[in-house]
């Protein structure tokens, strides 16, 4: 029906999970990034598969009332953001609608019969990211276009913290023949501490480090990463960040939520779900121990589990820093730890889940359904795997409340916190 390279006039009927518009011809779907529902667009077909096609907008014949001028000059090429062309409130409506559809599709949950809260709006719609990775190719610094080896040179990115753009300008002057492959930067929003890591195959020019230190007062730590080893070049080994009045050390390897202010809102929600009578708590996929430390009280017995040894090393330092010595952090696979707990017949009040995008593995979900903690708090950055996992958990649990958070504005991604309670 469609031919690659040919142009067609198509009407966009809705947005799919990735934010792209969908048009249909004789029920055959065409995915068209950067198009919006209600628009009539001229589309060039770029790919035809058995059950769908992909296309790109050649021109808009009509324009949605939700379309806005994009302020980023790289937007339509870069691929890092995908909803900048849509009014902010309309992106939130889309994210809610998508979550409702996924809940029904993957877990057969009708959102009318559960407490699904309105998505929590982002504090900062732009300049919110506290971490960025710039790549280098042909002496140019920028981002790789999604799924390609083509680099787009960037002078300024409007979703990252402005301090990264200041550093970028300086680093660019030294990039020619520098041997730098990647530049990773992280910033503590509350502490005003910047870390820069150069992934490089040559020694870093001292003049670059001197200029960065001279011009960027908040620069606290500079590392070089070479042959799988981090070497501290200047400043301190860690930067710190505060979340809900607790202090966390961030090392070059640690996972840390990329939107500090929104992460605080999300963790406040988790905190509200923990009551005085919740004593035995398992914090699975704990990273550097943020959630364990935030919810900790002297009467609690918390075990945090993460597969990355360095994350657990940081978690242990963080617990000392926050006088939370009663928490036990374990470097292990969640799957193994759950088996041990099952064998020991340990009773649990709460299991907290904060898995990567792939969600919780099937075996672990099964064991959780056998352990039967009173509550499960599931923090997810991928609604599709969340809904897949809820389908199994709801055999034993009621889905009490879901709250989505707009942690990644200008993109289709969201985070969601779900409270599940054991069925009576
Ligand atoms: C989304 S992060 C959550 C981190 C932490 N809860 C936070 O908010 O900072 C997911 C974490 O899961 C860990 N992880 C991934 N697979 C795992 C597994 N099979 N067992 C244990 N930890 C795992 C990763 O190392 C990562 O730290």
**pLDDT, tens digit, 9 for 90 and up, residues 123-171:** 999 999 999 999 999 999 999 987 788 999 999 999 999 999 999 999 9
Ligand 1 mutation pick, 307, 364, 416, max ligand atoms within 8 A of CB: 307
Which tokens hold the place of 212? 């960065």
- Report CA(362)–ligand 1 centroid distance (Å): 16
- The candidate with the shortest Cα–Cα distance to 386, out of 133, 128, 151, 106, is 106
Q: What is the pTM of this model?
A: 0.95
- Cα–Cα distance list, 250 to 46, 161, 237 (Å): 43, 17, 9
CA 317 – ligand 1 centroid, Å? 17
What's the domain count of the chain? Answer: 3
pLDDT tier for residue 344 given thresholds of 50, 70 and 90? very high
**150 and 177, same domain (yes or no):** yes
| Domain boundary residue, one of 241, 276, 300 | 241
Tell whether 102 and 140 lie within a shared domain: no
Which ligand 1 atom lies nearest to the CA of residue 308?
A: 25
Residues 155 and 104 in one domain: no
Residue 284, domain extent = 96-123+257-422
Task: List the structure tokens of 29.
Answer: 């779907």
CATH code of the domain containing 41? 2.40.50.140
pLDDT band at 346 (very low <50, low <70, confident <90, very high): confident
Query: How does DSSP classify residue 113?
Result: G
Domain end call among 241, 268, 285 = 241
pLDDT per residue as tens digits for the range 223-236: 999 999 999 999 99
* Percent of the chain with pLDDT strictly greater than 70: 100
- In sequence order, what are the beta bridge partners of 418? 378, 402
- Residues 336/338/343/347 CA torsion (nearest 10 deg): 160
Residues 404, 262 share a domain: yes
Residue 116, pLDDT score: 98
CA atoms within 13 A on the CB side of 62: 10
Measured CA to CA, the distance from residue 216 to residue 211 in angstroms comes to 8
- Establish how many alpha carbons lie within 13 A of residue 80's alpha carbon, considering only the half-sphere containing its beta carbon: 20
**Which long-range contacts link 108-114 to residues 24+ away (Cβ below 8 Å)?**
108/391, 109/387, 109/390, 109/394, 109/399, 114/399, 114/400, 114/401, 114/402
- The residue whose two tokens read 């952090």 is 329
Calculate how far, in angstroms, residue 318's C-alpha sits from the geometric centre of ligand 1: 16
Write the pLDDT tens digit of every residue in 240-278: 999 999 999 999 988 899 999 999 999 999 999 999 999
Dist. CA 166–CA 76, nearest whole Å: 23
Burial class (CB in 10 A: 0-12, 13-18, 19+), 309: exposed
Max CA pair span of the chain: 67
* 85 located within any domain: no
17-32: b (≥16 Cβ within 10 Å) or e? eebbbbbeeeeeebbb
- At 255 the pLDDT is 87
Per-residue pLDDT reduced to its tens digit, 37-93? 999 999 999 999 999 999 999 999 999 999 999 999 999 988 899 999 999 999 999
Measured in Å, residue 306 CA sits from the centre of ligand 1 at: 6
Among 355, 380, 405, 416, name the best residue to mutate to test ligand 1's pocket (greatest count of ligand atoms within 8 A of Cβ).
355
Print burial letters for 267-281: b (CB count within 10 Å at least 16), e (below 16).
bebbeebbeeebebb
Which among 78, 286, 381, 387 is annotated as catalytic?
381
pLDDT at 202: 94
Asked if residue 271 and residue 319 are part of one domain, the reply reads yes
> Tokens at residue 192, please?
């005003």
Residue 5, classed as helix, strand or coil, is coil
Smallest CA separation from ligand 1 atom 18, residue: 333
Contacts 24+ apart (CB under 8 A), 88-91: 88/125, 88/409, 90/36, 90/66, 91/19, 91/406, 91/409, 91/410
The reply to whether 306 and 375 lie within a common domain is yes
* Three-class DSSP category at 344: helix
Helix axes 383-393, 362-371, angle to 10 degrees: 40
Show the ligand 1 pocket: residues with CB < 6 angstroms.
255, 257, 285-288, 290-291, 305-308, 311, 333-334, 354-356
Predicted confidence (pLDDT) per residue in 304-313, tens digit: 999 999 899 9
Domain boundary among the residues 241, 266, 300 is at 241
Q: Quick one: three-class SS letters along 280-298?
A: EEEEECCCCCHHHHHHCCC
Residues 264 and 402 in one domain: yes
Averaged pLDDT score across all residues of the chain: 96
Is there a catalytic annotation at residue 381?
Answer: yes
CATH code for the domain in which residue 342 is found:
3.40.50.150
Q: Atom 13 in ligand 1: which residue has the minimum CA distance?
A: 285
267 and 338 both lie in a single domain = yes
Can you tell me which atom of ligand 1 is nearest the CA of 288?
9
- Position 188 in a domain: yes
């Amino acid at each position: 029906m469609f031919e690659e390279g040919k142009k067609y006039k198509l009407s966009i009927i809705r947005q799919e999970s990735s934010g792209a518009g969908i048009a249909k011809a004789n029920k055959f779907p065409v995915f068209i990034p950067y198009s919006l529902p209600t628009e009539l667009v001229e589309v060039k077909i770029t790919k035809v598969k058995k059950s769908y096609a992909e296309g790109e907008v050649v021109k808009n014949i009509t324009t949605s009332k939700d379309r806005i001028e994009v302020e980023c000059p790289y937007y339509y090429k870069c691929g890092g953001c995908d909803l900048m062309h849509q009014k902010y409130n309309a992106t939130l409506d889309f994210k809610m609608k998508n979550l409702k559809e996924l809940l029904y599709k993957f877990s057969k949950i009708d959102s009318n019969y559960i407490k699904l809260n309105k998505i929590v709006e982002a504090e900062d719609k732009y300049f919110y990211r506290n971490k960025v990775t710039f790549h280098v190719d042909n002496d140019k610094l920028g981002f790789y276009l999604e799924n390609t080896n083509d680099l787009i040179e960037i002078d300024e990115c409007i979703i990252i913290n402005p301090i990264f753009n200041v550093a970028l300008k300086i680093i660019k002057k030294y990039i020619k023949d520098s041997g730098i492959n990647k530049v990773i930067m992280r910033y503590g929003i509350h502490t005003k501490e910047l870390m820069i890591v150069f992934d490089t195959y040559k020694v870093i020019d001292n003049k670059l480090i001197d200029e960065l230190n001279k011009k960027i007062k908040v620069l606290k730590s500079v590392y070089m990463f070479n042959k799988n080893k981090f070497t501290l070049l200047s400043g301190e080994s860690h930067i710190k960040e505060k979340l809900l009045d607790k202090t966390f050390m961030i090392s070059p390897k640690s996972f840390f939520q990329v939107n500090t202010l929104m992460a605080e809102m999300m963790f406040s929600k988790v905190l509200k779900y923990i009551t005085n009578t919740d004593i035995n708590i398992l914090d699975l996929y704990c990273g550097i121990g943020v959630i364990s430390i935030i919810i900790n009280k002297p009467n609690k017995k918390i075990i945090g589990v993460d597969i990355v040894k360095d994350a657990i090393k940081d978690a242990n330092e963080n617990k000392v820093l926050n006088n939370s010595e009663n928490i036990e952090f374990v470097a292990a696979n969640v799957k193994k730890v759950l088996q041990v707990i099952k064998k020991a017949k340990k009773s649990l009040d709460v299991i907290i889940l904060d898995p990567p995008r792939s969600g919780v593995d099937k075996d672990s979900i099964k064991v959780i359904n056998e352990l039967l903690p009173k509550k499960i708090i599931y923090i997810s950055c991928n609604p599709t795997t969340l809904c897949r996992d809820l389908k199994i958990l709801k055999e034993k649990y009621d889905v009490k409340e879901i709250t989505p958070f707009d942690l990644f504005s200008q993109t289709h991604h969201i985070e969601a916190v779900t409270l599940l309670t054991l069925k009576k």
